[in-house]
Amino acid sequence: MTRKLFIKTYGCQMNVYDSARMADLLAPMGYAPIDEPEGADLVILNTCHIREKAAEKIYSEIGRLRRLKEERAATGAKMLIAISGCVAQAEGEEIIRRAPAVDMVVGPQAYHRLPEMIARIERGAGRVLETDFPPEDKFDRLPTGTSSQKGPAAFLTVQEGCDKFCTFCVVPYTRGAEFSRPVAQIEAEARRLVEAGVRELSLLGQNVNAYHGEGEDGEAWSLARLIRRLAAIEGLERLRYMTSHPRDMADDLIAAHRDIEKLMPYLHLPVQAGSNRVLAAMNRGHTADDYRRLIARIREARPDLALSGDFIVGFPGETDKDFEATLRLVEEIGYAQAYSFKYSRRPGTPAAASAAQVPEEEKSARLTVLQDLLARQQRAFLESLLGRTLPVLFEHAGRHEGQLVGRSPYLQPVHVSAPSALCGRIAQVRIERADTNSLAGTLAGERVAAE
């Protein structure tokens, strides 16, 4: 019997990966993914708790789903609603209490238990809440299929959780303590993906460069060692990793950017702020100068590296002078791309309790100034690529007939008129146009890497 599954994913790539694993996990139960909630037998909202009012948005989405559920019930059919991800972890009991339409709440460390939870509900055992950090390894319990993999670029979670406790962040509470998957398990998953046609792997982790998974020799391997191992897989052309913390940017990882050709010249390395006072209050464990020195060393190893980052403006106690230090740092470093946010209070985190909250208008004004600067830098970076010939991995068809969309080594989408047979392959493209977030160009001769 085929049943229809709709998963709505919020937030980071880790959630995108988790949603794909949930789809794989439910496939043997007859669940096939669909693109909208209408007609679904099971709807999963895979939530993110980083942004302001995240929980409120989920409650209003549940309200919309409740109406669909009632319409379906009127026809004698059932629609189960599950809430997963970080809002589920943080607000589990509250969701069960406040939203009777929800059948299941499952935290990010427990979603391998979904089949069992669904079976319990189908037996009429009532609604289920599963937000423990179970002792068994979720990754050991997940199916090894690649059925949900679409296209030649894939995510692979290698590390989860965080012990850093930045004072603004919920991740250490929702995702739990740092955990690294063993090397052999990751390599097996990577090989399966490559056999299924994957050419580019993005290794994911909240603190991916803190990776210290067990290797076959029983030792804790660094991320650089893991990357070296994966780079040896034939058919795999590109590797990336995200998100990193400046404190864990080890020497061997910097060297990997110089030595490993398959490691792409792109690094997402958030600094959050440029004022030492604010960095200390955030519990970041480094100063602005530490970060400057680190970037200089990484750029020495890989001069064309495209740098990305995250910034928070209006952290409690941030003064105009502190904010100017952030602008100065951004000006000095130069980002190819970056994310910036107004500080938002996350209940339970230390910074939320601070009496020195910055007024909303002030945060908005600072964000506008910072985003203008970052947008100028992004434009400058994209324009610096005009006239260059870059290897592009084609991922899918574009919106226009005869067009393919791929990624440059620096992670921007590139639009090119190209035969669909090039999908899944790398070809040289001459960059001719820079748009706000993407590039366009024409094929420049033969492929660099076949198959």
User: Per-residue contact track with ligand 5AD, 44 to 83, x per CB under 6 A?
Assistant: ------x---------------------------------
Residue from 137, 259, 310, 362 that binds ligand 5AD (CB under 6 A)? 310
We find the least distance from the C-beta atom of residue 436 to ligand 5AD, in angstroms, to be 21
Q: Could you tell me which of 57, 31, 27, 30 has the C-alpha nearest to residue 45? A: 57
Phi, psi (degrees; rounded to nearest 5) at 134: -65, 150
Residue 178: φ, ψ to 5°: -60, 135
The Cα–Cα gap between 388 and 409 comes to 12
Helix, strand, coil: what percent of the chain each, to 5? 40, 25, 40
116/59 Cα distance (integer angstroms): 25
Stretch that binds ligand SF4, among 79-87, 130-138, 161-169, 289-297 (CB under 6 A): 161-169
Residue 300 CB, shortest distance to ligand 5AD, in Å, is: 25
Residues linked to residue 148 through DSSP beta bridges, in sequence order: none
Binder of residue 114, out of ligand 5AD, ligand SF4, none (CB less than 5 to 8 A by kind): none
Q: Are 92 and 131 in contact (CB under 8 A)?
A: yes
Angle between helices 288-301 and 320-333 (to 10 degrees): 10
Q: Which does 155 bind (CB under 5 to 8 A by kind): ligand 5AD, ligand SF4, none?
A: none
Q: Which of 44, 54, 166, 390 binds ligand SF4 (CB under 6 A)?
A: 166
**Shortest CB 197 distance to ligand SF4, Å:** 32
**317-340 burial: b if 16+ Cβ within 10 Å, else e:** bbeeebbebbbebbeebebbbbeb
Nearest residue (CB) to ligand 5AD, 148 versus 207: 207
First to last CA, the chain: 37
CB 161, min distance to ligand SF4, A: 8
Of residues 236-255, those binding ligand SF4 (CB under 6 A): 245
194 part of the interface to ligand SF4, by CB under 6 A: no
| Residue 371 binds: one of ligand SF4, ligand 5AD, none (C-beta under 5 to 8 A by kind) | none
Nearer to ligand SF4, 54 or 171 (CB): 171
Q: How far apart are CA 223 and CA 208, in angstroms?
A: 8
Give contact residues for ligand SF4 (rule: CB under 6 A). 162, 164-166, 169, 171-172, 206-207, 245
Give contact residues for ligand 5AD (rule: CB under 6 A). 50, 168-169, 270, 272, 310, 312, 341, 343-344, 346
